[in-house]
C-alpha cells in the first residue's frame, strides 16, 4: 500500500492506494522558497521590469491607488509593507495612498468580509476600501475590442498613480490570476465584470492558457484603458510560501511571472487515470463547494472518460454561492445551463455548468462535511464520508487493475497529457 496525503481544510486525509494501482501523484514542481520573503519583494520593486521604479514614477503630492488582491493576511502584509517602503523613499505621505481590496467573483465574501485585510498597525495608517462592483461610484474609461464597456471605481480611475498587486497563480478560465486582473474584475462595476465573465463560455478560456484566451485579452485591454502604471506579482508555492516576485510594467512583469509559473505548474502525465483523487489544496481553497469546484477542470484533464473523480474538500461553509446551488438545482443538463448563461451570465451558474459537464463524462464523489442531500440531490454527486470508501466502489466499477492518480494541490497544477492521448474534454 502507498499512503497519499491530501490537504483537507486545516488538516490532511490519507488515501491508501495499492502499490500496483497507483499510476502517479501529480504535484507542482516546487521551487526553492525565498530566503527572506520581504527582501524578495523589495528587490523586485527596486529592479522593475520595463519601467522606472515606483519611487521615480510618483510625483510630489500625487494621489496613489493600489489594488490589492486579498491573498491572506500574511502575504497582504508583506506586499503592503514593501510598497510603503518604496513609496516612502519618494517622500510620499501615507494619507496619499488608498488601498482598494479587489473584487473577485470566484471568492465567497461571507466570511472574508469579517476578516482584517491587513493587521491593526497597517490598517490604522492606510486608507483601505473593499471595492463593491454594485455600490461603488464608477466612471467609464472606454470600451475593449470585444465590446466590454470598462467602468471603474471612480476613486481609482482618478488617481495619479495606479498600482496592481497580489499573487499570481493558475486561474480556471483567465489562464493565470494577477496583474491585469486588478482592474478587471478588481475595481470594475457589475456590468463590466459580467460582460468579461460571459467570455468564459469560449472554449479557449482555459487554465494556464493565454494565447487566444478572450477573458485574458479583455482584461489586458481594460488595464490599458485604466492607465495602470505599475504591478507587483508574487508567486507562492502550494504551502503559500513566497517563491519569487516580479514588479514593473503591467504586461512585462506578468509575462515574466507566467514563465516561472509554467515551470512550476505545467506537469506532463503519460496518460489519464481511471480514478483521480483531487484536493483543491486545503484551507481556504476548499472552504465551500463553489470554490472547491474550481479544480474540476484539472481533475477532468487527468481522468479518462467514464472514470471516477473523488473531490476531497472539507466545505465547512457549505455550498458557498446561491447561484451555484440555484442552477444545479434547476437542471443537470449542461446544454440547458449554457443556453441560460448566454442570456444572463451568472458565475455561480457557470461553475454549475462545469460540474454538470464533468458529471456527463465521469462519476464524481464528494468527500466533505456537507450534508449528503446537497452533494447528491442538489449537485448530482455521490457521497463519501472518507476518501478510502471510494476505492471499493471504484474497483467494483472499473476492475481491480484500475489505475489511480492523486492530485494533492489541484489549484497549483495543470496536467498536460502527452501526445497520442484523447483530449480530456472530448
Residue 319: half-sphere exposure toward Cβ, Cα within 13 Å:
25
DSSP run (H or E) holding 157:
helix 154-157
The pTM (predicted TM-score) of the whole model is: 0.93
Question: How high is the pLDDT of residue 392?
Answer: 94
Q: What number of residues does the chain have?
A: 426
**3-class state of residue 65 by DSSP:** strand
Using the structure block, give the residue that is written with the C-alpha cell 472574508. Answer: 112
Cell readout for 32 is 526553492
Identify the CA nearest to 68 among candidates 27, 43, 100.
100
Question: How high is the pLDDT of residue 191?
Answer: 96
Using the structure block, give the residue that is written with the C-alpha cell 490537504. Answer: 7
Distance of CA 240 to the CA centre of its chain: 13
Within 10 Å of residue 250's Cβ, how many Cβ atoms?
26
Q: Could you write out the DSSP letters of every residue in 298-364?
A: HHHHHEEEEEEEEEE---TTTT--HHHHHHHHH-S-HHHHHHHHHHS--HHHHHHHHHHHHHHHSEE
Residue 360: half-sphere exposure toward Cβ, Cα within 13 Å:
14
Question: How high is the pLDDT of residue 423?
Answer: 47
Positions of the chain with pLDDT under 50? 110-114, 423-426
Q: What are the beta bridge partners of residue 140?
A: 151
Domains and CATH numbers, the chain: 2-28+266-417 (3.90.226.30), 37-236 (3.40.50.11440)
Burial of 396 (0-12, 13-18, 19+ CB in 10 A): exposed
163 contacts 66 by C-beta, under 8 angstroms: yes
Amino acid at each position: 500500500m502507498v499512503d497519499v496525503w491530501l490537504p483537507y481544510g486545516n488538516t490532511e486525509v490519507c488515501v491508501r492506494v495499492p502499490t500496483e494501482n497507483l499510476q502517479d501523484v501529480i504535484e507542482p514542481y516546487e521551487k526553492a522558497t525565498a530566503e527572506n520573503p520581504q527582501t524578495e519583494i523589495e528587490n523586485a520593486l527596486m529592479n522593475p521590469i520595463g519601467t522606472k521604479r515606483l519611487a521615480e514614477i510618483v510625483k510630489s503630492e500625487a494621489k496613489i491607488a493600489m489594488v490589492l488582491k486579498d491573498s491572506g493576511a500574511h502575504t497582504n502584509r508583506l506586499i503592503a509593507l514593501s510598497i510603503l517602503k518604496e513609496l516612502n523613499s519618494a517622500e510620499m505621505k501615507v494619507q496619499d495612498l488608498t488601498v482598494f481590496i479587489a473584487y473577485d467573483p470566484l471568492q465567497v465574501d461571507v466570511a472574508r468580509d469579517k476578516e482584517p485585510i491587513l493587521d491593526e498597525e497597517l490598517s490604522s495608517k492606510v486608507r483601505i476600501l473593499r471595492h463593491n462592483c454594485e455600490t461603488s461610484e464608477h466612471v467609464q474609461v472606454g470600451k475593449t475590442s470585444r465590446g466590454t464597456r470598462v467602468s471603474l471605481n471612480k476613486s481609482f480611475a482618478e488617481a495619479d498613480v495606479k498600482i496592481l498587486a497580489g499573487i499570481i497563480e493558475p486561474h480556471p478560465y483567465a489562464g493565470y490570476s494577477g496583474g491585469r486582473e486588478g482592474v478587471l474584475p478588481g475595481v470594475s462595476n457589475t456590468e463590466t465584470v459580467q460582460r468579461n465573465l460571459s467570455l468564459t463560455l469560449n472554449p479557449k478560456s482555459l487554465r494556464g492558457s493565454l494565447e487566444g484566451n478572450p477573458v485574458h485579452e479583455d482584461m489586458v485591454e481594460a488595464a490599458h484603458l485604466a492607465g495602470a502604471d505599475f504591478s507587483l506579482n508574487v508567486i507562492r508555492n502550494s504551502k503559500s510560501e513566497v517563491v519569487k516576485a516580479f514588479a514593473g510594467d503591467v504586461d512585462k512583469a506578468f509575462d515574466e511571472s507566467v514563465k516561472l509559473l509554467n515551470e512550476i505548474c505545467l506537469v506532463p502525465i503519460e496518460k489519464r487515470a481511471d480514478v483521480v483523487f483531487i484536493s483543491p489544496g486545503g484551507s481556504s481553497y476548499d472552504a465551500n463547494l463553489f470554490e472547491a469546484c474550481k479544480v474540476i477542470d484539472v481533475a477532468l484533464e487527468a481522468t479518462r472518460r467514464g472514470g471516477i473523480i473523488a473531490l476531497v474538500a472539507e466545505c465547512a461553509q457549505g455550498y458557498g454561492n446561491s447561484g451555484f446551488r440555484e442552477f444545479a438545482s434547476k437542471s443537470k443538463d449542461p446544454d440547458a445551463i449554457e443556453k441560460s448563461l448566454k442570456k444572463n451570465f451568472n458565475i455561480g451558474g457557470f461553475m454549475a455548468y462545469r460540474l454538470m459537464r464533468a458529471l456527463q463524462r465521469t462519476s464524481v464523489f464528494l468527500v466533505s462535511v456537507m450534508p449528503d442531500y446537497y452533494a447528491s440531490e442538489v449537485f448530482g454527486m455521490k457521497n463519501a464520508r472518507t476518501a478510502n470508501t471510494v476505492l471499493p466502489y471504484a474497483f467494483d466499477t472499473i476492475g481491480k487493475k484500475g489505475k489511480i492518480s492523486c492530485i494533492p494541490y489541484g489549484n497549483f497544477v495543470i496536467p498536460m497529457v502527452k501526445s497520442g492521448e484523447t483530449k480530456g474534454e472530448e
